[in-house]
Each structure stands twice: as C-alpha cells, then as structure tokens.
Chain A
Amino acid sequence: GDSVTQMEGPVTLSEEAFLTINCTYTATGYPSLFWYVQYPGEGLQLLLKATKADDKGSNKGFEATYRKETTSFHLEKGSVQVSDSAVYFCALTMNTGFQKLVFGTGTRLLVSP
C-alpha cells in the first residue's frame, strides 16, 4: 500500500541553522504531497503542499520540492527560529476517489536559542 517514511527525530538545531527533514514515499500512482506541522498541545496545520512532479511548495520560509525520480519531498528552511520547534509530518494522498491522507510518523524539531 501507499506509505510515507520520514527521518526519525528529534532533530536538534541552534537558532539560524539550516534545516532538512527527509521524506520519501511509496505510491502506486502520482500522489499529492504535504507537510503538516503540529505545535505543542495543538492539532495539525497544513504547512505546504505540491500536487505534481517538480512542484515546489513554500510557506513561512519552508520549502519542499516534489521529486518523482527519487520519490522524495524533503522539507528545508534556511534559518530556523525557536518558534519553529514542533513536530513535522509528511503526508500523501492519491487524487482519486476518497482522498485519504497517509501520514509519516512525524519528526520532532527542537530549536535552541
């Protein structure tokens, strides 16, 4: 079945460091890809998305590019802030029928001052 694999955390960085969180997927067709963020004690918020190969999603300084050849959707940010500390989930959905979201296990990011 369709699945998403994320790097295990926690990822611990100092403020202003460069962030990469790896995400790869397995799908029988051509999914849409997403990054969700969960701040402590809260629900999930959509951070960015890409719906086809080579699309780049971006929001709040975060970026991710849909790479069909490597089945990847890595999340990057050039300079993290303490306020970026959260859990980040990579997810996919197939664009047919009921659009079930398939989530990765999440990666916790801890940013220290």
Chain B
Amino acid sequence: DGGITQSPKYLFRKEGQNVTLSCEQNLNHDAMYWYRQDPGQGLRLIYYSQIVNDFQKGDIAEGYSVSREKKESFPLTVTSAQKNPTAFYLCASSVAGAGNYNEQFFGPGTRLTVL
C-alpha cells in the first residue's frame, strides 16, 4: 500500500538534545512538507521541499533543519535552538506544480516530548 510513514510515534528527549524525526513516502510525490501542531492551534508549516536537494523555510523554521537527499525521504531535525519543541509533528507529501491544488497526504505524526 502506498502511503507516508513517520517514526517513531512517540519520542522523548532531554532538553538541549537534537532529535531527528523520520518521514518516508512511497507515493512517488515530488513535494514534501513538515507541519507542527500544538493544542488549540492549527497546523503551522515548518519546511517544505518541492524537489530533491531543494527545500524552503515555512512560517516557523527557526530551530529546525531538514534535508532532502532522496525523493522518498524528508527528515526533520529539531535542534536545541528550538525554544519550545514539545509538539505533534506531521509530515505530508503531494504532487508538485502550480495551478490546480495538489492534495497533500499526511502521515500519522510523531509526538515529541522534551523533558
């Protein structure tokens, strides 16, 4: 079955540690996205990538980094510079290209708790 996998589902880290969240898709999508979800708030875009080896900052990129070395993978690193990293992180992917809206398909999410 095609889809998006995120691992792990729950992640605990000590304050000051960097942590990398995994996102893999087998939908053959060019575009991938990372969102952050906090209680009572909508999703906010952290980073996005429309093609391999290229990515752009979203609305809240500070304290995060990404890479896009393969089409299938878009890992997110939450660095110690992120002031409030505890949140639910969602990865998504879509067909790329402007014009008609390209539906974004979401993974199941990773809940990160920094102790």
Contacts and interface: CB of A to CB of B under 8 A. Distances in A.
B102 A99 contact: yes
Contact of B43 (A51, A96, A97, A103): A103
Nearest to B6: A43
Interface stretch (B13-21, B60-68, B69-77, B104-112): B104-112
Contacts of A44: 43, 90, 92, 106
Nearest to A9: B40
Contacts of B50: 98
B42 A99 contact: no
Interface size classification for chain B: 20 to 34
Contacts of B102: 99
Contact of A4 (B42, B98, B99, B109): B42
A10 B101 CA distance: 30
A89 B48 CA distance: 20
A98 B33 CA distance: 12
Interface of A: 4, 32, 41-46, 49, 51, 89, 91, 93, 95-106
Interface of B: 4, 6, 40-45, 48, 50, 56, 58, 90, 92, 98-104, 106-109
Given A43-B6, A43-B106, A98-B50, 13 more contacts: A41-B108, A42-B108, A43-B109, A44-B92, A46-B104, A49-B103, A89-B43, A93-B101, A97-B98, A98-B98, A101-B43, A105-B42, A106-B41
